[in-house]
């Protein structure tokens, strides 16, 4: 990946001057830091960052500068990254399945918080991790609702198993906690409500008072133009439900947003290679590049078409079929994409709110998607 050394005023200035054919990802540190402060000021507990959504060093450094003091890490690479960039930060190793060599690595790097969703993996931790001052959170799942895709398909114990695991955690001398992940891009605050109530039932049935409740990620970013993320409504519901469900035994709360923190600090640009026979739009980026996740969870509709001078195309929005550059027919943005009808070869297509699960999945398949990261003061188009 290339890195533009200059700091640009906004994406349009860069596009006008540089005329990039290859994809560009514009990063506004000011937007990332203000989103981080919105979480820190509004969330009633500790805000940690799920590194997997965007492990860029510029992201980690700006989050730390804004006051983020904890990170959800899932691999030795991520533990190493945080240990190097933020040596004093807490690391929560919340990938519930780990090899023995990964566990040994994390113990050596001072990880003091782990999650688990099965008896076999819990026994591995009990065997290998010193219990003193160390937290193990039991991760549970409920039947899905309201999320963009089903996180429970891979991880999470049933409520019944979670109750047994929580008892075992406490008996083995670890600090007992509970965690869940309601699913990604949850726009309905109620996605958290039923989980928090179920956590209180698990704690009660196990007879174990929990130290912390980690309410996961899943906080939405701005994917639909008429649906700005209602973060404060979610924080408020989490706060109220935790008090109602746990009463005097209310645990400390933790959240671990990925998307909700990083997505809206980035805007992408790809160039129009062709408007084939006036119909299909071919871009220099697609689902093997920054738009990988759009194929899984649907289109972001905050898309603008800019001409070569960086001016917005003013035509009415019309449905188009949009392909990426590779020779693979899967390389298509989902559904019909609404684009200005006067879109032309050489234009730029800018997608806003594209910072999560994009740069980290960018591949060089077929020799495409050579990406430049450009820092901007503002993302205004
Ligand atoms: C991926 C992940 C997150 C972040 O999810 P978002 O939907 O991006 O907020 C948080 N916690 C865990 C355990 C995860 O695996």
DSSP 3-state assignment of 80?
helix
What is the tens place of the pLDDT at every residue in 124-172? Answer: 999 999 999 999 999 999 986 555 555 567 899 999 999 999 999 999 9
Q: How remote is the C-alpha of 25 from its chain's centroid? A: 16
Q: How far apart are CA 375 and CA 8, in angstroms?
A: 6
Q: Is the CB of residue 256 below 6 angstroms from any atom belonging to ligand 1?
A: yes
Ligand 1 atom, smallest distance to 217 CA: 9
- The protein residue whose alpha carbon is closest to atom 10 in ligand 1 is 217
pLDDT at 350: 98
d(CA 16, ligand 1 centre) in Å: 36
What is the arithmetic mean of pLDDT over 341-348?
A: 98
d(CA 86, ligand 1 centre) in Å: 20
Q: What is the mean pLDDT of the chain?
A: 96
Share of the chain above pLDDT 90, in %: 94
Q: How far apart are CA 183 and CA 202, in angstroms?
A: 20
Query: What ranges do the domains of the chain cover?
Result: 2-27+264-376, 29-262
CA of 79: how far to CAs of 16, 51, 266, in Å?
39, 9, 24
d(CA 327, ligand 1 centre) in Å: 32
The yes-or-no verdict on residue 311 having pLDDT over 60 is yes
- The protein residue whose alpha carbon is closest to atom 13 in ligand 1 is 94
DSSP 291-353: TTTHHHH-----EEEE-TTSPBP-SPEEEE-EE-SSS-TT-B-SS-EEEETT--TT-EEEEES
Is 0.75 topped by the overall pTM? yes
pLDDT at 198: 97
Class of domain 2-27+264-376: mainly beta
What is the tens place of the pLDDT at every residue in 247-283? Answer: 999 999 999 999 999 999 999 999 999 999 988 999 9
CA of 49: how far to CAs of 60, 71, 208, in Å?
9, 5, 27
Told to judge if 186 belongs to the known catalytic residues of this protein, a careful annotator would answer: no
User: Which two tokens mark 133?
Assistant: 């001052």
Q: Is the CB of residue 260 below 6 angstroms from any atom belonging to ligand 1?
A: yes
Q: Helix axis angle, 29-42 relative to 231-246, nearest 10°?
A: 30
Q: How remote is the C-alpha of 229 from its chain's centroid? A: 14
What is the arithmetic mean of pLDDT over 356-374?
A: 97
d(CA 243, ligand 1 centre) in Å: 24
Q: Is the CB of residue 72 below 6 angstroms from any atom belonging to ligand 1?
A: yes
CATH number of 29-262: 3.20.20.10
Q: How far apart are CA 324 and CA 327, in angstroms?
A: 9
What is the arithmetic mean of pLDDT over 87-108?
A: 98
Ligand 1 atom, smallest distance to 256 CA: 10
- The protein residue whose alpha carbon is closest to atom 15 in ligand 1 is 95
What is the tens place of the pLDDT at every residue in 23-74? Answer: 999 999 999 999 999 999 999 999 999 999 999 999 999 999 999 999 999 9
């Amino acid at each position: 990946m290339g890195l533009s050394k200059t700091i640009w005023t906004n994406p349009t200035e860069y596009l006008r001057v540089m005329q990039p054919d290859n994809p560009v990802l514009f990063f506004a540190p000011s937007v990332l830091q203000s989103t981080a402060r919105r979480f820190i000021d509004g969330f009633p507990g500790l805000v940690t960052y799920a590194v997997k959504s965007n492990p860029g060093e510029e992201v980690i450094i700006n989050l730390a500068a804004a006051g983020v003091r904890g990170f959800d890490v899932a691999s030795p690479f991520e533990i190493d990254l945080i240990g190097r960039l933020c040596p004093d930060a807490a690391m929560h190793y919340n990938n519930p399945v780990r090899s023995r060599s990964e566990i040994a690595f994390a113990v050596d790097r001072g990880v003091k918080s782990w999650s688990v969703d099965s008896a076999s993996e819990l026994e591995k931790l009990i065997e290998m991790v010193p219990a003193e001052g160390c937290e193990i959170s039991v991760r549970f799942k409920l039947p899905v609702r309201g999320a963009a895709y089903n996180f429970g398909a891979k991880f999470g114990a049933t409520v019944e198993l979670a109750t047994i695991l929580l008892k075992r955690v406490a008996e083995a001398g670890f600090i007992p906690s509970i965690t869940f992940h309601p699913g990604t891009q949850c726009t309905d605050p109620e996605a958290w409500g039923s989980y928090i109530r179920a956590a209180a039932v698990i704690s009660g049935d196990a007879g174990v008072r929990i130290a912390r409740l980690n309410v996961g990620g899943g906080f939405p970013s701005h994917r639909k133009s008429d649906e700005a993320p209602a973060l404060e409504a979610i924080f408020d519901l989490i706060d109220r439900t935790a008090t109602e469900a746990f009463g005097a035994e209310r645990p400390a709360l933790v959240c671990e947003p990925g998307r909700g923190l990083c997505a809206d600090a980035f805007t992408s640009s790809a160039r129009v290679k062709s408007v084939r026979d006036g119909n299909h739009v071919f871009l220099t980026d697609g689902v093997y590049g920054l738009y990988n996740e759009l194929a899984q969870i649907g289109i972001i509709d905050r898309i603008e078409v800019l001409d070569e001078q960086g001016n917005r195309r003013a035509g009415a929005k019309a449905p188009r079929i949009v392909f990426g550059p590779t020779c693979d027919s899967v390389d298509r943005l989902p559904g019909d994409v609404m684009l200005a009808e006067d879109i032309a070869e050489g234009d730029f297509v800018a997608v806003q709110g594209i910072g999560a699960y994009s740069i980290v999945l960018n591949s060089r398949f077929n020799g495409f998607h050579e990406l430049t990261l450009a820092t901007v003061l503002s993302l205004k188009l």
